[in-house]
Amino acid sequence: MKVLFYTREYPPYVYGGAGVHVEYLARELSKLMEVEVRCFGDQDNSAEQLCILGFNSDSLSLTDTKAELAPIFKTLTTCIQMNSGSMNADLVHCHTWYAQFAGILSKLCYGTPLVITTHSLEPLRPWKREQLGRGYDASSWIEKTALEMADAVIAVSQETKQDVLKYFNVDEKKVSVIYNGIDLDEYAVTTDTQALDKFGIDKSKPYVLFVGRITRQKGIIHLVNAIKYIGSDTQIVLCAGAPDTEEIGREMKQRVGEVQKTRSNVIWIAEMVSKKDVIQLYSHAAVFCCPSIYEPFGIINIEAMACKTAVVASSVGGIKEVVVDGETGILVPLEQETTAPFEAARPDQFARDLANGINRLMSDKKLRESMGVLGRKRVEDYFDWKAIAQQTQQLYKKILGHDK
């Protein structure tokens, strides 16, 4: 059996959870079958049963194109290029809407069975219009078309499965739940502290950590607004880069600048840090905070839990299936606007609730340590990539009729 992955992200060009997912799933699946990855970029390498090939649209002239539409046209052009050359895979597996147009073309032109993993859903990310303008209508159309013509849809949580069935015309029999996973050997507690020294973190003081992109979805602004309610002795480490838009980038800079005027222990790492560094940051954090307003799964939470760090997270989406409230962390309810979905109805109350959860754990070291141990065990029990690769292989066999 050979599977062809279509994806926007693949190392070294990874900026979100989908890229992490693809990297590790491809690696584990390649131990079970032949895997080819076609991605956005300039990659060109191969190992035993794993071939990586990058594509780009650098030759596309977009001089007079509206800025918000350029990503759409580049994406479509790259997806067309990804279908060029030989096509000898038994099935195609797409990750995120960016690569789904390639999957659509593959199924139409080559008749290749199509699998879609739903890392997020466009109807639940209305803020993307800030980034894409009317291009959001195009990305939504691509996603709807791909999901509804797919031979199988993988949802990364039970709640995401319900969202797929609610917003798209997809037969429930075609939707399977297969969680995200983690490399348990790589994501583990380390005693190394070079990253803390590099970023100016005081090793003698506890800190709360955020890791993620600067986007509405990740709720980073809510955490920044919560800082004024967090105990003054607690360091705040915001590992946040790659803003979705210039507007949210400016807002982040303004809000962080305001809190840094009143307290000196707010550290903003405005870049996407290396895996080695982020594992050190997880390992030495007293608390990890995930204030997302929408999260189909939330792979960052299992990264933190694997490093035995207690979690304070918003009680939304797949996070509720990852973090066990009161055992591996604290879930914070998020009341959302009915007229503006996926916005906090009472943002100041949400900020206060995040701070209360953080303060509670900061004041109880034994509880933090207990949650850290239970968090690691939960990751070991449920989110091992080896088991997830085997589940994915079984789904492929079912689609191809090899399970009989």
Q: At what angle do helices 385-400 and 17-29 cross, to 10 degrees?
A: 70
Average of per-residue pLDDT across 83-103:
95
At 342, the pLDDT band (50, 70, 90 cuts) reads low
Which comes out higher in pLDDT, residue 83 or 216?
Answer: 83
Strand order in the sheet with 50-55: 44-47, 50-55, 34-40, 2-7, 91-95, 114-118, 152-155, 175-177
At 337, the pLDDT band (50, 70, 90 cuts) reads low
pLDDT at 341 over 60: no
pLDDT at position 403: 72
Q: What is the share, in percent, of the chain residues with pLDDT greater than 90?
A: 80
* 145: CB partners within 8 A, 6+ apart: 100, 104
Task: Please state, in angstroms and rounded to a whole number, the distance separating the CA atoms of residues 184 and 162.
Answer: 29
pLDDT at 245 over 90: no
298: tokens are 């939330």
pLDDT at position 9: 95
Q: What is the share, in percent, of the chain residues with pLDDT greater than 70?
A: 98
pLDDT at position 62: 84
Average of per-residue pLDDT across 43-71:
89
Average of per-residue pLDDT across 214-235:
93
Residue with tokens 């509804």: 148
pLDDT at 404 over 70: no
**Residue 153 near residue 170, CB atoms below 8 Å:** yes
At 17, the pLDDT band (50, 70, 90 cuts) reads confident
Average of per-residue pLDDT across 71-86:
92
Q: What is the DSSP letter of 168?
A: S
The structural domains of the chain, ordered by start, are 2-181+384-400 (3.40.50.2000), 194-382 (3.40.50.2000)
Distance of CA 327 to the CA centre of its chain: 23
At 340, the pLDDT band (50, 70, 90 cuts) reads low
At 339, the pLDDT band (50, 70, 90 cuts) reads low
pLDDT at position 338: 59
Q: What is the DSSP letter of 192?
A: -
At 7, the pLDDT band (50, 70, 90 cuts) reads very high
- Which of 1, 70, 86 has its CA nearest to residue 38? 86
When mean pLDDT is compared across 181-185, 261-265, 271-275, 327-331, the lowest value belongs to: 271-275
Residue with tokens 């962390």: 329
Q: Per DSSP, what are the bridge partners of residue 52?
A: 37, 45
* 146: CB partners within 8 A, 6+ apart: 94, 97, 100, 101, 103, 104, 114, 116
pLDDT at 18 over 60: yes
When mean pLDDT is compared across 128-132, 166-170, 228-232, the lowest value belongs to: 128-132
174: tokens are 């075609």
**Residue 22 near residue 117, CB atoms below 8 Å:** no
Task: Give the tens place of pLDDT for each residue, 247-298.
Answer: 889 999 999 999 999 999 999 999 889 999 999 999 999 999 999 998 999 8
When mean pLDDT is compared across 142-156, 202-216, 339-353, 360-374, the lowest value belongs to: 339-353
Q: What type of residue sits at position 8?
A: R
pLDDT at position 228: 95
If you average pLDDT over every residue of the chain, what do you get?
Answer: 93
pLDDT at position 263: 93
Average of per-residue pLDDT across 96-117:
96
pLDDT at 15 over 90: no
Q: Per DSSP, what are the bridge partners of residue 152?
A: 115
- 62-71 CB contacts, 8 Å cutoff, 24+ apart: 66/133, 68/131, 68/132, 68/133, 68/134, 68/135, 69/132, 69/133, 69/134, 69/135, 71/131, 71/132, 71/135
- Which of 128, 135, 344, 340 has its CA nearest to residue 222? 344
161: tokens are 């499965």
Task: Please state, in angstroms and rounded to a whole number, the distance separating the CA atoms of residues 266 and 72.
Answer: 36
